[in-house]
Amino acid sequence: MPKPKTYFEFRETLSTEAPPELWPEALQALWWDAKGNWGAAHDIIEDLYSNEGSWVHAYLHRKEGDQWNAGYWYRRANKPFPEESLEEELEHIVSALL
């Protein structure tokens, strides 16, 4: 399956059992989170120290409710702490990664 071009196409892939291994790890992590598996998402992202990885890591900790840890990762990603909803942020990050 090719990498989706839009957030809508990304959402359509959630009917499959797993994200394609050829997708970037940050996108795979967001796929697992969108599928409802926060733990699998965090397992992928915890060792990815790029700006994109730090941004996804921040989002995951924000979703978890760990605002302090999320703030650390947003700073590492050079991103402000968002005021948008988690769903809006997910769409924003996925779109940026595509």
Res. 4: pLDDT tops 80: yes
Distance from the first to the final alpha carbon of the chain: 14
Give the pLDDT band of residue 2 (cuts 50, 70, 90). confident
Contact yes or no for 26/97 (Cβ under 8 A): yes
Res. 98: pLDDT tops 90: yes
Q: What are phi and psi of 83, to 5 degrees?
A: -105, -5
This prediction's pTM: 0.94
